[in-house]
Every structure is written in structure tokens, then in C-alpha cells.
Structure 1
Amino acid sequence: MFFVYVIRSEIDERFYVGLTEDVERRLKEHNSKKTKSTKGYIPWKLCFFETFKTRIEARKREIYLKSGVGKEYIKQNWSGSSVG
């Protein structure tokens, strides 16, 4: 299984979209400053994740969520919320 996840910084409410096989481990890595692009904005909270059978499907969704339209989708549906 592959997961596309969205986390939100509690410092400035910015979002980060990623792909992983283990959401819990990946969130811990983000909050342990092990990810260069997110280490300056900890702590991070999980907003939501989606499950996919293949990496290809997950990657397509990740690319969409990182696009301008995808970013708006995230802001409209998950701003100020936790996993849902």
C-alpha cells in the first residue's frame, strides 16, 4: 500500500504533500527535522491521507495535490482541520 498525505505546520499553517508507505513513520521524520524542506516549520500535524494500491496511482495524486488546483482543494477542504 502507498499513501499520499498532507501535513500542516502548526507554526504558520503551511501544507506539505508527500508520498510514503508508512504515514506514522514519515510524520515522525518530519517532526524530527529529518526532512530538509520541512524542518524549519515543526511541529507538523497530519491533515489527511489517501490509500493507493500502486505507487503510480499515488504519485499521480501527489502531483495533482501539489498543483495549483490541488493546493486550492486542500485549502478549501482541510484548512484548520485535523485528519478527516
Structure 2
Amino acid sequence: MYYVYIVQCADETLYTGIATDVERRLEEHNNSEKGAKYTRVRRPVMLVYSEALPDRSSALKREYAIKKKMNRKEKLQLIKSRLHAP
């Protein structure tokens, strides 16, 4: 199982990535040199969205769709819709 996730950085920008273990990856973004270069200078980061996908290929495609095809407003709507889902 792979996950696409979005974190909100301290400067309120959004970062999208994939991981097999979101909690571990969040820990890396906040406390390790293994965190993405983008997030290392924008700590702390907070998980605001995650979505499970069956395999790496699906996760990479979804990450691309979120990262490259959605603008900030659309990403915030995606996050909001997940918060209000039953």
C-alpha cells in the first residue's frame, strides 16, 4: 500500500509526496536530513491530507495530478473535502 500525502509547512505552503509509511515520512520531514529539501527549510510541517493507493505506480500518478495539475485553491478544496467526508 502506498499513500499520497500533503503537508502544510510552517510558511503555509503545501508539499505533496508519496510514502509507504506516512507517519515515518512526516517524522523525516520534521526531524531528519531525509526530509525533502523543500520541507527542511520550512519546518515544522503538519499532515493535512493522505490518500491510500494500491501500488507505487498509482501513487505516483496521483501525486503528479495533485502536484502539477492542481493549483493551491484546488488543493485546499481537496483537503477540505477529506476533512468533511463521513
Measure how far apart 1:12 and its partner are.
Answer: 1.4
- Indicate how the Cα distance of structure 1 residues 70 and 62 shifts in structure 2: closer, same or farther if over 3 A, else same: farther
Residue identity in the other structure for 1:39? R
TM-score by length of 2: 0.81
Q: Which residue of 1 aligns with 2:8?
A: 8
Measure how far apart 1:76 and its partner are.
Answer: 3.0
For residues 23-38 of structure 1, what are the structure 2 equivalents within 5 Å? 23-34=22-33, 35=35, 36-38=37-39
SS in 1 for 2:17: strand
Question: Would the aligned equivalents of 1:64 and 1:70 in 2 still touch at CA under 8 Å?
Answer: no
Q: Which residue of 2 aligns with 1:65?
A: 66
Does residue 1:40 correspond to 2:41, yes or no?
Answer: yes
Measure how far apart 1:39 and its partner are.
Answer: 0.6
Does residue 1:55 correspond to 2:59, yes or no?
Answer: no
Structure 1, unmatched stretches of 5+, are none
Measure how far apart 1:70 and its partner are.
Answer: 5.2
Does residue 1:18 correspond to 2:41, yes or no?
Answer: no
TM-score by length of 1: 0.83
Structure 2, unmatched stretches of 5+, are none
Query: Sequence identity of aligned pairs in percent?
Result: 35
**More helix, by proportion:** 2
Distance, in Å, in 1 between the alignment partners of 2:57 and 2:72 is: 20
